Every structure is written in structure tokens, then in C-alpha cells.
């Protein structure tokens, strides 16, 4: 088995109730060696204290995820970087599969890990339903890599600090443009997203879309296409039987998409007009 260090970098802000679950799952990984680096953004709860039970590498840095992630990479010693959010949990072989995949093909620069939403409320179930379409076959227009070769990450310049929201897509696309391949494993990340309403999602998309015009221009992405418009994603139409067999969730997903597109579209227009 490959014995190169994997640096797991976790960005946090007021994640006291989530961080322990993720860190426990990291400790149970079948692969070693692993180092855990937590970069907190001025939490007002006990996030840093909870994290310090698992690692000595707990830092405070901001103002956004891209800056936090790049700072964590600077503090790391690994040959591979893995970037996670605090509301996640890893299945036991995720890191082993990522390292094996990259080691077997030297052309791989980054690896996509499928995400499975763990839902309780209705809108969380709708989001989990949406993700299920991507997870069945994979969809590069939606899924973003979280595991990187250090070499590829550094050549790409890390996360673009001028972009907030689409940075998850931006870095893998930059790496791909440099000539690397993007792989995908089978083991999953469990994602415990808290979604109270479609209005919450619209506000989130609005905020992330304020700087999306930079990402779209950088990669010459069409304004109207599957990357920007949910309804243009072929995966939904290929799985039309699934859509009609789950009418309540399908209607909920359509409503969710309308809210997200509304919030995202407004954020894009304001961000571009004001040159945010």
C-alpha cells in the first residue's frame, strides 16, 4: 500500500455539533498516514475546542473558504490534499481508494468522490433526491473533485481567492486545463446538509453567485447550459422513469430549482453589474 501522507483540510465556522462526526470517520480510515488540519473562520462556539481533541493543527483564518483551504495547504506536509466541509462523514475506504486510484494512473490530478445526502426534513430529502441522479453514473457538470495531487494543486495555484461559491468547480477545471485527468471513485462521502426551505437555498445561491461572473469568464462557460441551468442537465431526462415514479420529490425538485435559479441569477446580475 502507498504510504505517502494525505493531508485532510477542513474549513469550519460554528460547526461544534458537526465536526466530531467527521473527525471520528477520518480516524477510522483504512489508509494511513493521515494528518488533519482544521482551519476555522472565527467561530463563536466550541468548534476549535472540539477539533483540538483530534488534531493539534487547528488554526484561525479567513475570510472565505478558498483562503482557508489555501492556508491549510500551506500548513500541510502531505503529497495529497483532501478538502472537506465539517458537515460530512467519510466511508471507511474513501482515502484508500483515492490514493490507489491516483497511484495507478500517473495522469490523474484530482479525484471526485460521490456525495450522498443524509436527509431528515422534506427539502433535505429533495436535495438528496437530486444528488441521487448524479451518483448513479457520475456527472462532471455538477460533481467537483475534493482529492488532489499536491503537484496538480500547486501547478493550478490552489483555490482562486477571488471566487466564492464556484471555487469547488474552478480548481478541478483549472487542473484539467493543465492536462491532468479527473478520476472518480465508488466510496462515498455522506453529507448532512441542513435545508429548512427553498428560500434558504435561494439565499445561499444568491451569495455564491455574486462572484460567479469571474468563474464563468475565466473558463469561458456558456451562460445558458447544463453548468448554469439545472433544467438543461441531460441526466434528468435520461432517468425520466425515475422522475415520473417519484412525483412528489420531482415536483419538490422543480420548485427547488426555480428558487435556486432565481437566487443565483439575481446574484450573478448584481455581482457582474457592481463588479463584486
Q: 158 in the Ramachandran plot: left (φ > 0), alpha (ψ -120 to 50) or beta?
A: left
Instruction: Classify residue 195 by its DSSP letter.
Output: -
- Spatial CA neighbour of 196 closest among 89, 120, 109, 117: 120
Is 204 among the domain residues? no
Report the CATH number that the domain containing residue 26 is assigned in CATH: 3.90.550.10
In-domain check, residue 176: yes
Residue 227 CA to residue 61 CA, distance in Å, equals 31
- Check: CB of residue 45 under 8 Å from CB of residue 16: yes
* 3-state helix vs strand vs coil in the chain, percent to 5: 45, 15, 35
**For residue 189, is pLDDT > 60?**
yes
Residue 87 lies in a domain: yes
Instruction: Report the SS3 class of residue 222.
Output: coil
The total number of structural domains that make up the chain: 1
Residue 151 lies in a domain: yes
Q: What is the pTM of this model?
A: 0.93
Query: 121 lies in a domain?
Result: yes
Mean pLDDT across the stretch 49-56?
Answer: 96
Q: Which domain holds residue 182?
A: 6-196
Torsion sign over Cα 222, 223, 228, 233: negative
For residue 1, pLDDT over 60 is answered with no
Residue 260 lies in a domain: no
Q: Does any domain span residue 74?
A: yes
- In this prediction, residue 68 carries a pLDDT of 97
Q: What is the DSSP string of 1-23?
A: -----EEEEEEESS-TTTHHHHH
- What average pLDDT does the chain have? 95
Residue in this structure with the C-alpha cell 504510504, named with its chain if needed: 3
Reported as a single tens digit per residue, the pLDDT across 153-165 is 999 999 999 998 8
Tell me the torsion sign for CA atoms 248, 250, 253, 255. negative
User: Mean pLDDT over residues 252-268, rounded?
Assistant: 97
- Determine the pLDDT at residue 100: 95
Residue 45's alpha-carbon distances to 18, 41, 51, 72, 270, in angstroms, are 12, 11, 12, 21, 33
Q: Is residue 230 part of a domain?
A: no
> In sequence order, what are the beta bridge partners of 266?
none
Name the band, by pLDDT with cuts 50, 70 and 90, for residue 117: very high
Polymer length of the chain: 276
Amino acid at each position: 500500500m502507498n504510504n505517502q501522507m494525505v493531508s485532510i483540510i477542513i474549513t469550519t465556522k460554528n460547526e461544534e455539533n458537526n465536526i466530531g462526526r467527521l473527525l471520528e470517520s477520518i480516524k477510522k480510515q483504512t489508509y494511513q498516514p493521515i494528518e488533519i488540519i482544521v482551519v476555522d473562520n472565527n467561530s463563536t462556539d466550541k468548534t476549535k475546542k472540539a477539533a483540538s481533541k483530534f488534531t493539534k493543527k487547528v488554526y484561525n483564518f479567513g475570510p472565505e473558504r478558498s483562503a482557508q483551504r489555501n492556508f491549510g495547504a500551506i500548513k500541510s506536509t502531505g503529497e495529497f490534499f483532501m478538502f472537506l466541509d465539517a458537515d460530512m462523514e467519510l466511508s471507511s475506504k474513501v482515502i484508500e481508494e483515492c490514493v490507489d486510484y491516483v497511484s495507478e494512473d500517473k495522469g490523474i490530478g484530482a479525484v471526485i468522490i460521490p456525495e450522498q445526502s443524509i436527509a431528515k426534513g422534506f427539502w433535505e430529502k429533495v436535495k438528496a433526491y437530486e444528488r441521487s441522479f448524479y451518483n448513479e453514473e457520475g456527472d462532471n457538470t455538477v460533481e467537483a473533485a475534493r482529492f488532489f495531487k499536491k503537484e496538480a494543486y500547486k501547478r493550478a495555484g490552489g483555490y482562486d481567492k477571488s471566487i466564492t461559491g464556484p471555487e469547488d468547480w474552478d480548481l478541478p477545471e483549472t487542473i484539467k486545463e493543465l492536462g491532468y485527468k479527473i478520476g472518480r471513485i465508488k466510496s462515498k462521502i455522506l453529507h448532512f446538509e441542513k435545508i429548512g426551505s427553498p428560500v434558504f437555498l435561494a439565499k445561499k445561491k444568491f451569495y455564491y453567485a455574486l462572484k460567479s461572473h469571474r468563474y464563468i469568464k475565466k473558463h469561458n462557460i456558456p451562460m445558458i447550459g447544463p453548468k448554469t441551468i439545472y433544467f438543461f442537465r441531460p441526466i434528468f431526462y435520461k432517468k425520466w422513469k425515475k422522475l415520473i415514479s417519484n412525483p412528489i420529490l420531482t415536483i419538490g425538485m422543480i420548485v427547488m430549482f426555480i428558487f435556486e435559479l432565481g437566487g443565483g441569477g439575481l446574484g450573478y446580475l448584481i455581482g457582474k453589474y457592481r463588479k463584486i
